[in-house]
Structure 1
Amino acid sequence: MPVQKTEIDTLVVGAGQAGIAISEHLSTLGIPHLVLERSRIAEAWRTGRWDSLVANGPAWHDRFPGLEFDGLAPDAFASKDQVAAYFETYAKKFDAPIRTGVEVRQVVRNVGRPGFTVETSDGVIEANRVVVATGPFQKPVIPPIAPADDNIHQIHSAAYFNPEQLPEGAVLVVGAGSSGVQIADELQRAGRKVYLSVGAHDRPPRAYRNRDFCWWLGVLGEWDAETVKKGREHVTIAVSGARGGNTVDFRGLAHQGMTLVGLTQSFENGAVKFQDDLTANLTAGDENYLALLDAADAYIARNGLDLPEEPEARTRYPDPDCVTHPVLELNLAEAGITSIIWATGYSVDYSWLKVDAFDERGKPKHQRGVSSEPGVYFLGLPWLSRRGSAFIWGVWHDAKHVAGHIATQRTYLSYRDATQREQEQ
């Protein structure tokens, strides 16, 4: 039986926020393209997140410019299902050429002719260009220190959905970024004893002086920062839109009954050891928090804004016992810990992309998404062009730049010199 073959100018791999964004811009520019998605539109929002997840930014901010959330107040936080529905609606708005249920298995550059040969679960595609819109959350990472203990239920945060799926007993949550802290809080509110391993983090206020932190980062120019500050490459951000949005306060969580511990160091003989860095990590998070308050106050004074003062934002809980007397080692059985949730991030998998577009560490080589490999583009990655690149609105603007680059290249390739035009007349 002959293999089905399709020819297309530009192939987009992935129909999440990045794939839909680039599809809109390509459509506006009249560039023929096809978007392939191995599952459903915005699948990561549907099945790769816990049940109660909401967006970390308010609805007025975490969206594309061309469509608001239906039936959602601007300052509300969209649920994961509302976000998935939003992207489906957005794709229908401009009739995005998306083909779902098709997996891209291999992309190889053609030899002696332009473009790429793309092997998929639904046949072969010949494409002049390939846009990789698979995002940064591809392979859940559980560090090698994870104990080989069948008596402990261990899952990555990507596989956590609700407290009921875990066996009875206490839970150790490793990782205190947005995912880890929200999961730990949910478990504690469900009546579980929770130990939260806190590493280095940024901790912005959810809102300050009647403005959400997303607004503050915008007017202060932080979203447009083009490079990561030295030493901050692996610092996570602890922020939440849960229950209408609240500032993450680790000491407050401890006063509610959660036990904070430092960075998880090792497991041995049924015990876990933590680094003695909890106080330092909390202090650095406080400094990040206060720095944003100071910058906001200065901006208000400089611009003469009439925004209410909020002195209570600078008050803090006293250090709980788990901070003044940190737990450095814990016997899992004695603590009643039956589950470990690894909120330890993701890695990318480009094994299917057989092109020279990666550095020695396997990271894409690109400039604002334009790869070092001609004809290959990347979208949806953190810091693709700036701090806001990995966010819903940020990827839309990055996609506009990439689509413009594609349009420019098509213009050059469509050029015919004067001699050829005369011969064709």
Structure 2
Amino acid sequence: MQAEKVETVIVGGGQAGLTLSHMLSKRDRPHVVLERARIAERWRSERWDGLRFQFPNWSVQLPDFPFPHADPEGFATSEEIVDFLTAYADFIAAPVRCGVTVTALRRRDGGADFYLETSDGPIRASNVVVATGPYQIPIIPALLPEDAGLYQVHASRYREPGQLPDGAVLVVGSGASGAQIAEELMRAGRRVYLSVGRHRRLPRRYRSRDLIWWLAAMGLDRTPIEKRGPDKTLPLITGAYGGHTIDFRTFAAEGAVLLGRLELMSGRTLHFAPDLANSLRSGDAAYTAFLDLVDSFVGRQGLDVPEEPGARTMRADPACVMDPVRTLDIDAASIGSVIWSTGYGCDFGWIDLPVLDGRGEPVHRDGITDVPGLYFLGLQWLSRMNSSFLVGVAEDAARLADHIAARSPGMS
């Protein structure tokens, strides 16, 4: 079968792929966007019903296309984000081909062009941009056997409390997803056990401004990757229930049982590490450090914002921290479900080119690889802190579009 020839193929029809499509169109560069399912598929099928976006409505936008909203301080639902991305694709007239899966990417006989094997036939391209996002393969640690008699589901497949069988719920993972799901379950009247790991909690609002406002005002959202530092923990924030600062001690006061990191299961007993107090202190340290950073910035800039001393008041450690639970009998605790909020891994096994490291992660500089014409976009910390943010992908997309346009005129 003869391959279709396209100058640039963008793999992925989410926020990154659509934004790059807009940038290429502005530069009059021909391209196609291949999407395995539907536009914004992960927002459609890999988010729970009650999810709220972590960025306030006023901050949400894509190039030339602001997010429509009635409440600037509110937080969008998944459905609203899907509608926004779909409307953006229409607005930019993106050449998206939905339902097309790329199964292989390679070069042939040392040639300059790329060959993509897809479910819709082969394509030959001068440039390929992998924009499949940072959340690809759900990670579930091999800690509990499948035949443990528990309903086990990754956060990407959780939908709502009624999906779970009767009984208490163990949520493993204390990132943004784990925290929001645990809170939703508690509000639904479920008994919740939350396995807490290291986390970096930040204030939802401080001194009358949202966290996102402070990040932008201080330029932190544009922190380049070389200044990232060793801590790769993602910020712990939520937009649920109007948006509020997360403190797991509050969860405990509302009935949740906090546990350390899940280590293993023996028989019908779960074993947890003795690290709960340290994890909470780590979260507190990040929180306090951010308040200090804001206060220092306010002082230097002379900003007229109210002080908020109450933000530094810490709850006392609950009993489950003072006397931590190290073992938990599944039957005695009436646990019927486990939700794994344990993150995602990369899935670039379909790329047959020397651009992946030993862990299967792409090697690049600001999205540009050592293979001429091959790029990545939308990954966490691609070039800056906000590279994977819906509101931050535009600068990376513009840079890659310029790079593609600069090398395109000399191509055959």
User: What's the TM-score bracket when you normalise by the shorter of the two chains?
Assistant: over 0.9
Identity %: 46
Work out the CA distance in 1 between the residues paired with 2:265 and 2:64: 50
Aligned match for 1:375, one of 342, 358, 373: 373
Query: Within 5 A, what are the aligned runs for 1:230-241?
Result: 230-233=229-232, 235-241=233-239
Give, in angstroms, the shift of residue 112 of structure 1: 4.5
Aligned match for 2:102, one of 98, 101, 104: 104
Larger radius of gyration: 1
Give, in angstroms, the shift of residue 359 of structure 1: 1.3
Paired AA for residue 190 in structure 2: R
Work out the CA distance in 1 between the residues paired with 2:410 and 2:224: 29
Give, in angstroms, the shift of residue 49 of structure 1: 0.4
Say whether the 8 Å CA contact 2:136–2:344 is kept in structure 1. yes
TM-score by length of 1: 0.94
Give, in angstroms, the shift of residue 319 of structure 1: 1.0
Say whether the 8 Å CA contact 2:357–2:363 is kept in structure 1. yes
Deviates more, 1:128-137 or 1:140-149: 140-149
Say whether the 8 Å CA contact 1:117–1:127 is kept in structure 2. yes
Aligned match for 2:362, one of 361, 364, 374: 364
Work out the CA distance in 2 between the residues paired with 1:187 and 1:391: 27
C-alpha distance 226-358 of structure 1, shift in aligned 2 (>3 A): same
Equivalent residue number for residue 74 of structure 2: 76
Render the CA deviation track for 1:165-221: whole Å, top value 9, x for unaligned. Answer: 000000000000000000000001101100001101110000101111111112222
Paired AA for residue 82 in structure 2: A
Provide the aligned C-alpha RMSD in A: 1.4
Equivalent residue number for residue 125 of structure 1: 123
Work out the CA distance in 1 between the residues paired with 2:380 and 2:228: 14
Say whether the 8 Å CA contact 1:45–1:83 is kept in structure 2. yes
Render the CA deviation track for 1:361-403: whole Å, top value 9, x for unaligned. Answer: 2110100000122211001111100111111122121111111
| Structure 2 gap ranges (5+) | none
Work out the CA distance in 2 between the residues paired with 1:150 and 1:316: 38
SS of alignment partner, residue 161 of structure 1: coil
Render the CA deviation track for 1:29-59: whole Å, top value 9, x for unaligned. Answer: 1110000101100010011000011110112
C-alpha distance 12-281 of structure 1, shift in aligned 2 (>3 A): same
Paired AA for residue 68 in structure 2: D
Equivalent residue number for residue 111 of structure 2: 113
Query: Within 5 A, what are the aligned runs for 1:411-422?
Result: 411-413=409-411
Query: Within 5 A, what are the aligned runs for 1:190-339?
Result: 190-227=188-225, 229-233=228-232, 235-339=233-337
Work out the CA distance in 1 between the residues paired with 2:182 and 2:247: 12
Say whether the 8 Å CA contact 1:55–1:62 is kept in structure 2. no
Say whether the 8 Å CA contact 1:12–1:131 is kept in structure 2. yes
Pair 1:160 & 2:137 matched: no
C-alpha distance 126-293 of structure 1, shift in aligned 2 (>3 A): same
Equivalent residue number for residue 189 of structure 1: 187
Work out the CA distance in 2 between the residues paired with 1:111 and 1:21: 33
Work out the CA distance in 2 between the residues paired with 1:133 and 1:334: 46
Give, in angstroms, the shift of residue 275 of structure 1: 0.8
Work out the CA distance in 1 between the residues paired with 2:63 and 2:114: 32
Say whether the 8 Å CA contact 1:25–1:403 is kept in structure 2. yes
Give, in angstroms, the shift of residue 231 of structure 1: 3.6
SS of alignment partner, residue 59 of structure 2: coil
Render the CA deviation track for 1:232-263: whole Å, top value 9, x for unaligned. Answer: 13x23211000111111111111000111111
Render the CA deviation track for 1:134-178: whole Å, top value 9, x for unaligned. Answer: 011111010111234341111100110000000000000000000
Work out the CA distance in 2 between the residues paired with 1:73 and 1:359: 44
Equivalent residue number for residue 30 of structure 2: 32
Work out the CA distance in 1 between the residues paired with 2:256 and 2:245: 16
Paired AA for residue 337 in structure 1: I
Paired AA for residue 393 in structure 1: V
Equivalent residue number for residue 174 of structure 1: 172
SS of alignment partner, residue 57 of structure 1: strand
Deviates more, 1:54-63 or 1:152-161: 54-63
Aligned match for 1:44, one of 42, 45, 58: 42
SS of alignment partner, residue 131 of structure 1: strand
Work out the CA distance in 1 between the residues paired with 2:327 and 2:200: 25
Say whether the 8 Å CA contact 2:269–2:330 is kept in structure 1. yes
Work out the CA distance in 1 between the residues paired with 2:59 and 2:250: 27
SS of alignment partner, residue 66 of structure 2: coil
